[in-house]
Amino acid sequence: MNVANVNVIAGFALAAALAQVLAPRDAQIVNLLGYHVIAKLLVHYPSYLSNVALPRTAAHVTATAALINICWRLAAGN
C-alpha cells in the first residue's frame, strides 16, 4: 500500500466519524462518503494494480475532493 492511500484512510475515518455525529441523516454527505468508497474500490485500486495512471489519478483526486467537501459541509453546518 502506498503512502497516499494510508493518508486517505485517516481522512475517510475522520469524515465518516464526524458525519455520524454531526449529520447522520444528511443524504448529501452519505452520498459523498459512498462516492469516495466506490471511486477508490472500483477505479483507483484496479488502476493502481494495472499501473494505469489517468483513471488512478482522477479517482484519487475526486475521492479526496469528496472528503474535503464532506468536512467543509460539516464545518459550515450544512
* Gap between the Cα atoms of 12 and 51, Å rounded: 24
Identify the pLDDT of residue 10. Answer: 85
* Gap between the Cα atoms of 57 and 55, Å rounded: 5
Please give the average per-residue pLDDT across 15-43, as a whole number: 94
Q: How far from chain centre, in Å, is Cα 56?
A: 14
Condensed to tens digits (0 to 9), the pLDDT of residues 36-77 reads 999 999 999 999 999 999 999 999 999 999 999 999 999 998
Identify the pLDDT of residue 4. Answer: 55
* Gap between the Cα atoms of 47 and 59, Å rounded: 9
Identify the pLDDT of residue 66. Answer: 96
* Gap between the Cα atoms of 55 and 51, Å rounded: 10
Asked whether residue 7 carries a pLDDT value surpassing 70, the answer given is no
